[in-house]
Amino acid sequence: MFRGRYAIPAALLASVGIFGLMAFSPSAAQADSTTPTTLASAGGGYTYPTPTTSPTVSASSGYGTANINLPETFIAPGQAIFDASCASCHGADASGTSRAPNLQGLGAGTVDFWVSTGRMPLADSSVQATEKPPRFNRTETLQIAAFVQSKTPGTGVPIPIVNLSAANLESGGSLYTLNCAACHTITGAGDALAGGAYAPSLHLATPTQIIEAIRSGPGNMPRFSEGNLTPTEAHDIAAYVHGVIQQPDDRGGFGLGGVGPVGEGFVGLLIGVGLLMLVCFWIGERS
Ligand code: HEC
Ligand code: HEC
């Protein structure tokens, strides 16, 4: 009788707690712990062909400005993959069709972003392309990028060689708050935008993809030129997203998956109100 009165609210409270832990426990984000610091790791475990044709670091004029130069031998295999997987929508020469936009002039970095995040190839062109496991391995992705880049050499967004060793997390944090948090939220969890679009979670993007997104402005995201964010600033943001947002230091308790102040407040409220309810029941019992 006495116990029975506690049983229902206690069970309710426990199930809310267990549900919250299961629903919000961090998972995939932690898997992305690679910090590319060298040319080899910027390629994502990609092994280079013979030295005469390997990608080289283009002349860099300061921190964060090095890019991958794709070898010419990548163009032919890239064209074969493009013919089979992309040309039906983007056209054999990547100049676009009624089904999909022109890719010429976008640059290897833009192609790398869309293919390495799994957005392309697209199955259903009526909805916003989403991140999914990439169809192609690192070498194939670079080959496709080399083919598209070969149509307009030297233009568009290059594939950056990301080196975060000298990045400034503090500057990255304030630049993130100013330029990115409005859409991606302060915790990087992502949010819905107007018109059915959404800004995705940043918990899976690699530093290379982050810089490619900054420079190419995918979909409804604005494009930030080097005049808006310098190479150093873009690197600082990538370091902040990679080092702080993707590996949060959850002081004082559970991270709740970094869902943001509203979600966290909601969970706090549920647990707080639940505890209060138990106390009320207990007081009621005694009198
Ligand atoms: C089923 C048709 C389809 C296929 C197949 C497809 N795409 Fe796309 N692609 C689209 C559409 C539609 C968009 C515009 C999507 C958007 O903006 O969300 C797009 C956008 C892109 C963009 C970004 C263009 C821009 O202006 O920013 C790139 C890069 C791209 N595709 C590359 C590829 C590559 C490389 C392949 C092959 C591996 C491929 N796509 C296969 C339909 C397709
Ligand atoms: C106006 C809103 C907006 C702002 C501001 C914005 N983004 Fe985005 N971002 C988007 C949208 C929308 C997409 C998804 C594009 C698509 O898939 O069509 C996106 C996609 C991305 C992705 C790809 C994530 C993935 O895993 O596929 C990254 C990385 C990213 N943004 C980083 C940034 C950074 C860094 C900043 C600040 C410098 C920023 N964004 C500012 C709206 C925004």
Residue nearest ligand 1's atom 11 by CA: 100
Same domain, 10 and 77: no
Asked which of 159, 188, 210 is the last residue of a domain, the reply is 159
- Determine the distance separating the centroid of ligand 1 and the alpha carbon of 272, expressed in angstroms: 47
Same domain, 139 and 88: yes
Helix residue ranges per DSSP H, the chain? 2-24, 39-42, 75-85, 87-90, 108-116, 138-151, 169-179, 181-184, 207-216, 231-240, 261-286
Ligand nearest the Cα atom of residue 238? 2
- Determine the distance separating the centroid of ligand 1 and the alpha carbon of 6, expressed in angstroms: 57
> Residues near ligand 2 with C-beta < 6 Å?
117, 119, 128-129, 131, 179-180, 182-184, 193, 197, 199-200, 202, 204-205, 209-210, 213-214, 218-222, 224, 237, 241
Q: How many domains does the chain have?
A: 2
Question: Cα dihedral angle (91, 111, 199, 195), rounded to 10 degrees?
Answer: -20
DSSP helix/strand/coil, 56 = strand
For residue 266, the enclosing domain spans: 2-26+259-286
Among 110, 9, 33, residue whose Cα is nearest residue 67: 110
Q: How many CA atoms lie within 13 A of 139 on its CB side?
A: 10
Asked which of 130, 159, 188 is the last residue of a domain, the reply is 159
Residue 282 lies in a domain: yes
Residue 170 lies in a domain: no
DSSP helix/strand/coil, 277 = helix
CATH of the domain at 91: 1.10.760.10
- Determine the distance separating the centroid of ligand 1 and the alpha carbon of 43, expressed in angstroms: 22
Same domain, 18 and 77: no
- The per-residue pLDDT string of the chain (287 residues; one tens digit each, 9 = 90 and over) reads 456 677 777 777 677 667 656 665 544 333 333 333 333 334 443 333 333 334 444 544 567 788 998 999 999 999 999 999 999 999 999 999 999 999 999 999 999 999 999 999 987 766 778 888 999 999 999 999 999 999 999 999 999 999 898 899 999 999 999 999 999 999 999 888 888 888 999 999 999 999 999 999 999 999 999 999 999 999 999 999 999 999 877 665 555 555 566 666 777 777 778 888 888 888 888 76
Residue 183 lies in a domain: no
Burial class (CB in 10 A: 0-12, 13-18, 19+), 152: middle
Asked which of 143, 159, 175 is the last residue of a domain, the reply is 159
Residue 105 lies in a domain: yes
Residue 266 lies in a domain: yes
The torsion angles phi and psi of 100, rounded to 5 degrees, stand at: -155, 155
